[in-house]
Amino acid sequence: MTAQTLAQKLLAAAAGRDAVHPGEIVTCKVDLAMFHDSSGPRRLQPMLQELGTGLWDRSKVVLVMDHYVPEADDESRRIVRIARDWAREQRLPHVYDSVGICHVVLPEHGHLRPGMFCVGGDSHSPTGGAFGAYMFGVGSTEMLGVVTSGEIWMRVPETLMMCWHGRLAPGVMAKDMMLYLIGRYGMNGGRYQAVEFCGEAVSALSMRERMTLSNLSAELGAQAGLIAPDAVTQAYLQEVGAPAGDIGHWRSDAQASAQWHEFDAGTLAPQVAAPHSPANAAAVDAYPDTPVQIAYIGACTGAKLDDLRAAAEVLRGRRIAPQVRLLVAPASQREQAAAQAEGVLDDLLAAGASLLPTSCGACSGYGGSIPAGATVIATTARNFKGRMGSADAQVYLASPYTVAASALAGRIADPRKVLS
């Protein structure tokens, strides 16, 4: 049989084929469709009514309320009410209301497993690839086709292998790996392809850190960001009560055709992306004496338990600069509870942080949005003009280590100097 990449194996399984080849058009059966209050019911409901049809399989639909909660105004209340009412009408069994960000809530409730083929109504849906599942974002029209038929057609992509050798140094995280890649290859570096992360440095990452790699594949322009499942995956799935299945099958064959890129994790410095693009990334020392007024630790790329731990490691026993507001919005209630149990949350609050709700919040320009004229350093995924609120805000992207160090210094700072 022809050697296959992980992406090809996942698409072949979804298409009911033994093998697929790059460039082929295949029809895939969907194992799970996820959408949230912003992307889902308010757009899907009128289209479904017009078609006079319903959902193909309620058990395979997951709805998460995370963008417009907690409701801050009449428009937010209207959007969330539509989602809640529709969920009741449809008798959806998997609804998560105001408990966290969809990309974190989905795996922590056991919905993602190796070998699955999933779609999400959000551009950062490639997060699911961290679990050896093929998952990508679709728009409302494509989602309409999925929820009515349970299928979607695909062009089989080429695979880009991003192989990271060595180990990350203290103070450097998966966020730094991705900002480096986005800075090097640009936001169209993936060009619809499937990116697969491999190598010793990737194997050493926790599941939460792997989720950051896969999530930010979207900023490379990739359709999917995959990591072959292993013992780390298996342990996480066991923890959340999800069966791992035959993880040995879901990996690229040694002779599979792919485009390889190799990197040394041990030499990677903390990265910072300047306004107004994640591709404006450079090593932290490229930004000397850049003052910040707001440090934001939040979003699916920067507020999971490992992220909160990293920030606490920098801030423990210290106080943020008096001119800085440090805002912390944990990625889910489960992650917040775990951080509280470990004392991590107490460390952040003692350093001067303000706690925000477990939602998308300022990352998507809703609750806790950034005021006009502010210079911000954030753990979020994007820093496009106006993304976090005011179009006048200057937003820099970095890891939780770097954001925490910058909150201490009142300017963009290298976390390695604090940790040493």
Cα separation, 357 vs 295, in Å, equals 16
What is the number of other CB atoms lying within 10 angstroms of the CB of residue 155?
Answer: 12
Cα separation, 220 vs 387, in Å, equals 18
Task: Judge if 112 and 23 occupy the same domain.
Answer: yes
Task: Judge if 242 and 288 occupy the same domain.
Answer: no
Task: Judge if 253 and 276 occupy the same domain.
Answer: no
| Phi/psi at 384 (5° precision) | -60, 155
Q: How many structural domains are present in the chain?
A: 2
Q: Nearest Cα to 251, choosing from 168, 120, 129?
A: 129
Pairing label, strands 294-298, 375-378: parallel
| Phi/psi at 36 (5° precision) | -120, -175
**Domain C-terminal end among 208, 237, 264:** 264
**Domain C-terminal end among 264, 284, 299:** 264
Task: Judge if 205 and 332 occupy the same domain.
Answer: no
Q: Could you give the C-alpha distances from 268 to 29, 77, 165, 177, in angstroms and in order?
A: 40, 44, 11, 8
Cα separation, 28 vs 206, in Å, equals 30
Q: Domain residues for 338?
A: 271-417
Q: Nearest Cα to 244, choosing from 129, 120, 116, 126?
A: 116
Q: pTM of whole model > 0.85? A: yes
Task: Judge if 170 and 190 occupy the same domain.
Answer: yes
Cα separation, 201 vs 309, in Å, equals 19
**Domain C-terminal end among 264, 280, 306:** 264
Cα separation, 409 vs 347, in Å, equals 17
In a domain, 394, yes or no: yes
What is the number of other CB atoms lying within 10 angstroms of the CB of residue 115?
Answer: 20
Task: Judge if 406 and 301 occupy the same domain.
Answer: yes
Cα separation, 235 vs 167, in Å, equals 21
DSSP 8-state assignment for residue 138: -
Task: Judge if 252 and 150 occupy the same domain.
Answer: yes
Task: Judge if 280 and 250 occupy the same domain.
Answer: no
201-243 per-position pLDDT tens digit: 999 999 999 999 999 999 999 999 999 999 999 999 999 999 8
Q: Nearest Cα to 212, choosing from 310, 146, 280, 118?
A: 310
Asked if 334 and 305 touch (Cβ cutoff 8 Å), the reply is: no
Task: Judge if 278 and 257 occupy the same domain.
Answer: no
In a domain, 311, yes or no: yes
- 76: domain CATH number is 3.30.499.10
In a domain, 90, yes or no: yes
- pLDDT per residue, tens digit, the chain (420 aa), is 789 999 999 999 999 999 999 999 999 999 999 999 998 899 999 999 898 898 999 999 999 998 889 988 999 999 999 999 999 999 999 999 999 999 999 999 999 999 999 999 999 999 999 999 999 999 999 999 999 999 999 999 999 999 999 999 999 999 999 999 999 999 887 678 999 999 999 999 999 999 999 999 999 999 999 999 999 999 999 999 998 888 999 999 999 999 999 999 999 999 999 998 999 999 999 999 999 999 999 999 999 999 999 999 999 999 999 999 999 999 999 999 999 999 999 999 999 999 998 987 777 766 556 777 889 999 999 876 666 677 778 899 999 999 999 999 999 999 999 998
| Phi/psi at 326 (5° precision) | -105, 115
63-99 per-position pLDDT tens digit: 999 888 998 899 999 999 999 999 999 999 999 999 9
